[in-house]
Chains A and B, each alone.
Chain A
Protein backbone atom coordinates (compact mmCIF):
# COMPACT_ATOMS: atom_id res chain seq x y z
CA UNK A 1 0.00 0.00 0.00
CA UNK A 2 2.84 2.36 0.85
CA UNK A 3 6.13 2.60 -1.04
CA UNK A 4 9.36 4.55 -0.81
CA UNK A 5 10.18 6.84 -3.72
CA UNK A 6 13.58 8.40 -4.28
CA UNK A 7 13.57 11.96 -5.64
CA UNK A 8 15.99 14.79 -6.15
CA UNK A 9 14.97 18.43 -6.04
CA UNK A 10 16.37 21.92 -5.61
CA UNK A 11 15.23 23.17 -2.21
CA UNK A 12 15.28 26.86 -1.36
CA UNK A 13 15.74 28.07 2.20
CA UNK A 14 14.80 31.66 2.86
CA UNK A 15 16.89 33.88 5.15
CA UNK A 16 14.09 33.89 7.75
CA UNK A 17 14.76 30.19 8.31
CA UNK A 18 18.52 30.55 8.82
CA UNK A 19 18.17 30.24 12.61
CA UNK A 20 16.74 26.72 12.24
CA UNK A 21 19.22 23.81 11.89
CA UNK A 22 19.71 23.14 8.15
CA UNK A 23 18.50 19.56 8.33
CA UNK A 24 15.27 20.67 9.95
CA UNK A 25 14.78 23.53 7.49
CA UNK A 26 15.21 21.13 4.56
CA UNK A 27 12.75 18.67 6.07
CA UNK A 28 10.14 21.41 6.53
CA UNK A 29 10.61 22.67 2.97
CA UNK A 30 10.33 19.20 1.46
CA UNK A 31 7.21 18.45 3.50
CA UNK A 32 5.64 21.78 2.53
CA UNK A 33 6.20 20.96 -1.11
CA UNK A 34 5.15 17.30 -1.17
CA UNK A 35 3.09 16.22 1.83
CA UNK A 36 -0.48 15.25 0.93
CA UNK A 37 0.08 15.97 -2.79
CA UNK A 38 -0.18 13.68 -5.78
CA UNK A 39 2.98 13.22 -7.86
CA UNK A 40 2.03 12.31 -11.41
CA UNK A 41 2.55 8.59 -12.15
CA UNK A 42 4.06 8.07 -8.70
CA UNK A 43 1.22 8.32 -6.19
CA UNK A 44 0.03 10.36 -3.23
CA UNK A 45 3.05 11.62 -1.29
CA UNK A 46 2.60 11.31 2.47
CA UNK A 47 5.75 12.74 4.03
CA UNK A 48 9.55 12.72 4.02
CA UNK A 49 11.16 9.41 5.00
CA UNK A 50 14.84 10.35 5.02
CA UNK A 51 17.37 12.67 3.39
CA UNK A 52 20.12 10.80 1.53
CA UNK A 53 22.41 13.54 0.21
CA UNK A 54 22.56 17.30 0.05
CA UNK A 55 24.91 19.62 -1.82
CA UNK A 56 26.53 22.75 -0.41
CA UNK A 57 24.18 25.71 -0.28
CA UNK A 58 24.48 28.31 -3.04
CA UNK A 59 23.23 31.81 -2.35
CA UNK A 60 21.21 33.26 -5.20
CA UNK A 61 22.09 36.84 -6.12
CA UNK A 62 19.48 39.44 -5.20
CA UNK A 63 17.38 37.39 -2.80
CA UNK A 64 19.76 35.88 -0.25
CA UNK A 65 17.97 32.54 -0.53
CA UNK A 66 20.10 29.45 -0.16
CA UNK A 67 19.64 26.80 -2.85
CA UNK A 68 20.48 23.21 -2.02
CA UNK A 69 20.26 20.12 -4.20
CA UNK A 70 18.79 17.37 -2.08
CA UNK A 71 18.28 13.68 -2.69
CA UNK A 72 15.64 12.21 -0.42
CA UNK A 73 13.00 9.53 -0.03
CA UNK A 74 9.28 10.01 0.45
CA UNK A 75 6.60 7.69 1.80
CA UNK A 76 4.04 7.42 -1.01
CA UNK A 77 0.58 5.88 -1.06
CA UNK A 78 0.47 3.69 -4.16
CA UNK A 79 -1.34 0.35 -3.81
CA UNK A 80 -0.31 -2.15 -6.48
CA UNK A 81 -2.80 -3.74 -8.85
CA UNK A 82 -4.34 -6.73 -7.15
CA UNK A 83 -3.63 -5.49 -3.63
CA UNK A 84 -6.40 -5.93 -1.09
CA UNK A 85 -7.06 -2.95 1.17
CA UNK A 86 -9.76 -1.89 3.60
CA UNK A 87 -11.70 1.36 3.62
CA UNK A 88 -15.10 2.71 4.57
CA UNK A 89 -18.17 3.05 2.38
CA UNK A 90 -18.68 6.76 1.72
CA UNK A 91 -21.88 6.51 -0.33
CA UNK A 92 -23.66 4.33 -2.87
CA UNK A 93 -25.24 5.21 -6.20
CA UNK A 94 -26.88 3.03 -8.87
CA UNK A 95 -23.48 3.06 -10.65
CA UNK A 96 -21.53 1.58 -7.75
CA UNK A 97 -19.99 2.27 -4.37
CA UNK A 98 -17.66 5.09 -3.36
CA UNK A 99 -15.08 4.09 -0.78
CA UNK A 100 -12.86 6.37 1.25
CA UNK A 101 -9.78 5.99 3.39
CA UNK A 102 -9.23 8.72 5.96
CA UNK A 103 -6.56 10.32 3.80
CA UNK A 104 -7.74 9.38 0.30
CA UNK A 105 -11.26 9.61 -1.15
CA UNK A 106 -11.05 8.75 -4.84
CA UNK A 107 -11.91 5.06 -4.81
CA UNK A 108 -14.84 3.67 -6.76
CA UNK A 109 -16.24 0.15 -7.01
CA UNK A 110 -18.31 0.01 -10.24
CA UNK A 111 -21.47 -2.10 -10.19
CA UNK A 112 -20.02 -4.66 -12.62
CA UNK A 113 -17.24 -5.36 -10.14
CA UNK A 114 -19.55 -6.24 -7.25
CA UNK A 115 -20.68 -9.74 -6.23
CA UNK A 116 -22.90 -11.55 -8.69
CA UNK A 117 -26.48 -11.04 -7.53
CA UNK A 118 -25.93 -7.56 -6.12
CA UNK A 119 -28.82 -5.14 -6.62
CA UNK A 120 -29.27 -1.49 -5.76
CA UNK A 121 -32.06 -0.70 -3.31
CA UNK A 122 -33.42 2.69 -4.40
CA UNK A 123 -35.46 3.27 -1.24
CA UNK A 124 -32.57 2.70 1.12
CA UNK A 125 -29.90 3.91 -1.33
CA UNK A 126 -27.67 0.92 -0.60
CA UNK A 127 -26.32 -2.04 -2.51
CA UNK A 128 -27.61 -5.42 -1.39
CA UNK A 129 -25.92 -8.73 -2.13
CA UNK A 130 -28.45 -11.55 -2.47
CA UNK A 131 -26.42 -14.70 -1.92
CA UNK A 132 -27.20 -18.09 -3.44
CA UNK A 133 -28.53 -19.22 -0.05
CA UNK A 134 -31.11 -16.44 -0.17
CA UNK A 135 -29.46 -14.23 2.43
CA UNK A 136 -29.43 -10.48 2.00
CA UNK A 137 -26.21 -8.71 2.89
CA UNK A 138 -26.15 -4.91 2.94
CA UNK A 139 -23.31 -2.60 1.91
CA UNK A 140 -24.27 -0.05 4.55
CA UNK A 141 -22.74 3.40 4.66
CA UNK A 142 -19.66 3.73 6.89
CA UNK A 143 -19.14 -0.04 7.07
CA UNK A 144 -15.53 -1.19 6.82
CA UNK A 145 -15.13 -2.84 3.43
CA UNK A 146 -12.33 -4.94 1.99
CA UNK A 147 -11.74 -4.65 -1.77
CA UNK A 148 -9.16 -5.44 -4.43
CA UNK A 149 -7.48 -2.67 -6.44
CA UNK A 150 -8.13 -3.28 -10.15
CA UNK A 151 -7.14 -0.09 -11.96
CA UNK A 152 -5.44 3.18 -11.27
CA UNK A 153 -5.60 6.40 -13.22
CA UNK A 154 -3.47 9.52 -13.14
CA UNK A 155 -4.81 12.69 -14.70
CA UNK A 156 -2.43 15.53 -15.34
CA UNK A 157 -4.55 18.62 -14.74
CA UNK A 158 -3.41 21.61 -16.73
CA UNK A 159 -3.36 24.84 -14.74
CA UNK A 160 -6.53 26.92 -15.02
CA UNK A 161 -6.58 30.63 -15.79
CA UNK A 162 -7.04 32.28 -12.36
CA UNK A 163 -9.74 34.54 -13.86
CA UNK A 164 -11.81 31.50 -14.84
CA UNK A 165 -11.20 29.51 -11.69
CA UNK A 166 -14.25 30.82 -9.81
CA UNK A 167 -16.68 30.02 -12.60
CA UNK A 168 -15.38 26.48 -12.82
CA UNK A 169 -17.52 24.05 -10.85
CA UNK A 170 -15.83 21.53 -8.58
CA UNK A 171 -17.20 18.77 -10.77
CA UNK A 172 -15.06 19.95 -13.68
CA UNK A 173 -11.91 19.45 -11.68
CA UNK A 174 -10.81 15.87 -12.19
CA UNK A 175 -9.03 14.10 -9.34
CA UNK A 176 -5.32 13.71 -10.20
CA UNK A 177 -5.19 10.13 -8.95
CA UNK A 178 -8.02 7.67 -8.59
CA UNK A 179 -8.47 3.96 -8.00
CA UNK A 180 -11.03 1.45 -9.21
CA UNK A 181 -11.67 -1.54 -7.03
CA UNK A 182 -13.59 -4.79 -7.12
CA UNK A 183 -15.52 -6.87 -4.64
CA UNK A 184 -16.54 -10.24 -6.10
CA UNK A 185 -14.51 -12.85 -4.27
CA UNK A 186 -15.28 -14.62 -0.99
CA UNK A 187 -13.54 -12.80 1.82
CA UNK A 188 -14.00 -9.39 0.17
CA UNK A 189 -16.86 -7.03 0.99
CA UNK A 190 -17.91 -5.84 4.42
CA UNK A 191 -15.30 -7.17 6.88
CA UNK A 192 -17.90 -8.19 9.48
CA UNK A 193 -19.46 -10.72 7.04
CA UNK A 194 -16.56 -13.17 7.17
Chain B
Protein backbone atom coordinates (compact mmCIF):
# COMPACT_ATOMS: atom_id res chain seq x y z
CA UNK B 1 0.00 0.00 0.00
CA UNK B 2 1.22 3.47 -0.83
CA UNK B 3 -0.52 6.71 0.12
CA UNK B 4 -0.17 8.93 -2.95
CA UNK B 5 -2.17 11.88 -1.70
CA UNK B 6 -3.52 11.87 1.89
CA UNK B 7 -6.11 14.56 1.27
CA UNK B 8 -6.98 15.11 -2.35
CA UNK B 9 -10.34 16.79 -1.72
CA UNK B 10 -12.86 17.38 1.01
CA UNK B 11 -16.33 15.92 0.75
CA UNK B 12 -19.52 17.29 2.23
CA UNK B 13 -21.81 15.01 4.21
CA UNK B 14 -24.28 15.18 1.37
CA UNK B 15 -21.76 13.86 -1.17
CA UNK B 16 -20.83 10.94 1.08
CA UNK B 17 -24.49 10.03 1.60
CA UNK B 18 -25.22 10.29 -2.13
CA UNK B 19 -22.22 8.08 -2.97
CA UNK B 20 -23.17 5.37 -0.48
CA UNK B 21 -26.79 5.35 -1.60
CA UNK B 22 -25.66 5.02 -5.20
CA UNK B 23 -23.37 2.08 -4.31
CA UNK B 24 -26.20 0.39 -2.40
CA UNK B 25 -28.52 0.82 -5.38
CA UNK B 26 -25.91 -0.69 -7.69
CA UNK B 27 -25.59 -3.71 -5.39
CA UNK B 28 -29.36 -4.13 -5.32
CA UNK B 29 -29.43 -4.12 -9.12
CA UNK B 30 -26.78 -6.85 -9.11
CA UNK B 31 -29.04 -9.10 -7.08
CA UNK B 32 -31.75 -8.90 -9.74
CA UNK B 33 -29.23 -9.32 -12.58
CA UNK B 34 -26.80 -11.92 -11.28
CA UNK B 35 -28.51 -13.54 -8.32
CA UNK B 36 -27.90 -13.13 -4.60
CA UNK B 37 -24.47 -14.84 -4.68
CA UNK B 38 -22.92 -11.97 -6.68
CA UNK B 39 -24.20 -9.46 -4.17
CA UNK B 40 -22.42 -10.98 -1.16
CA UNK B 41 -20.36 -8.03 0.01
CA UNK B 42 -17.64 -7.93 2.66
CA UNK B 43 -19.10 -7.72 6.16
CA UNK B 44 -16.94 -4.76 7.19
CA UNK B 45 -18.27 -2.79 4.21
CA UNK B 46 -21.92 -3.58 5.02
CA UNK B 47 -21.37 -2.52 8.65
CA UNK B 48 -19.73 0.79 7.90
CA UNK B 49 -22.21 1.70 5.15
CA UNK B 50 -25.16 1.08 7.45
CA UNK B 51 -23.55 3.08 10.27
CA UNK B 52 -22.71 6.01 7.99
CA UNK B 53 -26.29 6.13 6.68
CA UNK B 54 -27.61 5.98 10.26
CA UNK B 55 -25.33 8.85 11.28
CA UNK B 56 -26.00 11.05 8.27
CA UNK B 57 -29.75 10.54 8.72
CA UNK B 58 -29.41 12.67 11.87
CA UNK B 59 -27.66 15.51 9.99
CA UNK B 60 -28.77 18.10 7.44
CA UNK B 61 -27.52 15.87 4.60
CA UNK B 62 -30.87 14.10 4.33
CA UNK B 63 -32.71 17.27 3.31
CA UNK B 64 -30.22 18.19 0.59
CA UNK B 65 -30.29 17.55 -3.15
CA UNK B 66 -27.46 18.08 -5.61
CA UNK B 67 -29.02 21.13 -7.31
CA UNK B 68 -29.79 22.92 -4.07
CA UNK B 69 -26.36 22.06 -2.67
CA UNK B 70 -24.53 23.39 -5.72
CA UNK B 71 -26.60 26.56 -5.65
CA UNK B 72 -25.91 27.11 -1.96
CA UNK B 73 -22.16 26.55 -2.34
CA UNK B 74 -22.02 28.97 -5.26
CA UNK B 75 -24.00 31.57 -3.39
CA UNK B 76 -21.72 31.32 -0.33
CA UNK B 77 -18.37 30.89 -2.08
CA UNK B 78 -18.92 33.65 -4.62
CA UNK B 79 -20.36 36.18 -2.23
CA UNK B 80 -18.30 39.24 -1.41
CA UNK B 81 -17.95 38.07 2.20
CA UNK B 82 -14.85 35.98 1.42
CA UNK B 83 -15.58 32.83 3.36
CA UNK B 84 -12.87 30.21 3.69
CA UNK B 85 -13.50 26.89 1.96
CA UNK B 86 -13.83 25.08 5.26
CA UNK B 87 -16.35 27.63 6.50
CA UNK B 88 -18.54 27.05 3.45
CA UNK B 89 -18.18 23.29 3.98
CA UNK B 90 -19.27 23.50 7.63
CA UNK B 91 -22.20 25.79 6.82
CA UNK B 92 -23.28 23.32 4.16
CA UNK B 93 -23.02 20.38 6.56
CA UNK B 94 -24.86 22.05 9.43
CA UNK B 95 -27.20 24.63 7.85
CA UNK B 96 -27.14 26.99 10.87
CA UNK B 97 -30.49 28.48 11.81
CA UNK B 98 -29.51 31.49 13.93
CA UNK B 99 -26.63 33.82 14.68
CA UNK B 100 -25.30 31.83 17.65
CA UNK B 101 -25.00 28.72 15.51
CA UNK B 102 -23.41 30.64 12.64
CA UNK B 103 -20.84 32.11 15.03
CA UNK B 104 -19.53 28.60 15.75
CA UNK B 105 -18.66 27.96 12.11
CA UNK B 106 -17.22 31.34 11.17
CA UNK B 107 -14.23 32.79 12.92
CA UNK B 108 -14.50 36.37 14.12
CA UNK B 109 -18.07 36.55 12.87
CA UNK B 110 -18.93 39.86 14.46
CA UNK B 111 -15.89 41.75 13.24
CA UNK B 112 -16.08 40.36 9.70
CA UNK B 113 -19.79 40.65 9.02
CA UNK B 114 -22.31 43.35 9.78
CA UNK B 115 -25.76 42.61 11.21
CA UNK B 116 -27.33 42.87 7.74
CA UNK B 117 -24.78 40.56 6.20
CA UNK B 118 -25.38 37.95 8.91
CA UNK B 119 -29.11 38.08 8.24
CA UNK B 120 -28.42 37.80 4.52
CA UNK B 121 -26.24 34.68 4.97
CA UNK B 122 -28.85 33.06 7.22
CA UNK B 123 -31.52 33.85 4.62
CA UNK B 124 -29.47 32.23 1.85
CA UNK B 125 -29.06 29.10 3.96
CA UNK B 126 -32.71 28.98 4.97
CA UNK B 127 -33.92 29.44 1.40
CA UNK B 128 -31.85 26.38 0.44
CA UNK B 129 -33.57 24.35 3.15
CA UNK B 130 -37.02 25.55 2.15
CA UNK B 131 -36.66 25.13 -1.59
CA UNK B 132 -36.03 21.45 -0.91
CA UNK B 133 -39.08 21.19 1.34
CA UNK B 134 -41.25 22.84 -1.33
CA UNK B 135 -39.77 20.54 -3.93
CA UNK B 136 -40.86 17.48 -1.92
CA UNK B 137 -44.38 18.87 -1.47
CA UNK B 138 -44.80 19.64 -5.17
CA UNK B 139 -43.61 16.12 -6.03
CA UNK B 140 -46.25 14.61 -3.81
Contacts and interface: CB of A to CB of B under 8 A. Distances in A.
Contacts of A128: none
Contact of A71 (B4, B15, B49, B94): B4
A61 B27 CA distance: 33
B13 A8 contact: no
A49 B58 contact: no
A58 to B, nearest CB: 18
Nearest to B101: A187
A28 B44 CA distance: 11
Contacts, number: 117
B44 A35 contact: yes
B71 to A, nearest CB: 21
B69 to A, nearest CB: 14
Given A7-B3, A7-B4, A35-B44, A84 B104 contact: yes
B11 to A, nearest CB: 4
Nearest to B49: A47
B23 interface: yes
Contacts of B52: 46, 102-103
A35 B93 contact: no
B44 A36 contact: yes
Given A9-B2, A24-B38, A73-B8, 16 more contacts: A1-B13, A2-B10, A4-B10, A5-B7, A7-B1, A7-B3, A7-B4, A31-B45, A35-B49, A46-B52, A71-B4, A75-B19, A78-B7, A84-B90, A86-B58, A144-B58
